[in-house]
């Protein structure tokens, strides 16, 4: 029995097989991470003074495998019993993704108690 395929047919078959194997491999690679629920967290990266105001740069990271939606991040600064606060929302934060936010305060965070964290999120 002889092989009646032309060289072009053999090349096409080989390329098609490689593409199919790559797609199946990518799907198999991503499946284990899908079971890990979203786990967003917020950490202060930098505090800098800009035009007599203070910018607090926050890195928000999703350490889970699933996407987190409507991630609500709050920043609160308490100085001598007075509280200044702000909220920001990230629409979508995919698994292992991070995003930087900036909170702006009138007072220096070094003079008080600064609290930054994720207050809520949804799983789409």
Class of domain 36-122: mainly beta
Distance CA 5, CA 66 (A): 46
Q: What is the pLDDT of residues 66-121, one digit of tens each?
A: 899 999 999 999 999 999 999 999 999 998 899 999 999 999 999 999 999 999 99
How far is the CA of 24 from the CAs of 14, 20, 35, in angstroms?
Answer: 16, 6, 19
Q: What is the pLDDT of residues 48-71, one digit of tens each?
A: 999 999 999 999 999 988 899 999
DSSP state of 35: G
Domain boundaries, the chain: 1-30, 36-122
The reported pTM is 0.70
Distance CA 42, CA 60 (A): 4
Picking from 82, 84, 70, 79, the residue whose alpha carbon sits closest to that of residue 119 is 70
């Amino acid at each position: 029995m002889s092989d009646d395929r032309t060289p072009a047919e053999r090349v096409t078959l080989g390329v098609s097989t490689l593409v199919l194997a790559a797609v199946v491999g990518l799907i198999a690679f991503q499946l284990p991470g899908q079971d890990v629920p979203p786990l967003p967290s917020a950490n202060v990266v930098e505090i800098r003074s800009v035009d007599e105001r203070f910018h607090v740069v926050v890195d928000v990271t999703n350490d889970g495998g699933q996407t987190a939606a409507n991630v609500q991040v709050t920043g609160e600064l308490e100085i001598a019993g007075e509280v200044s606060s702000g909220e920001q929302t990230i629409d979508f934060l995919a698994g292992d993704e991070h995003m930087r936010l900036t909170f702006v305060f009138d007072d220096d965070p070094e003079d008080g108690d600064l609290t930054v964290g994720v207050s809520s999120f949804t799983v789409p």
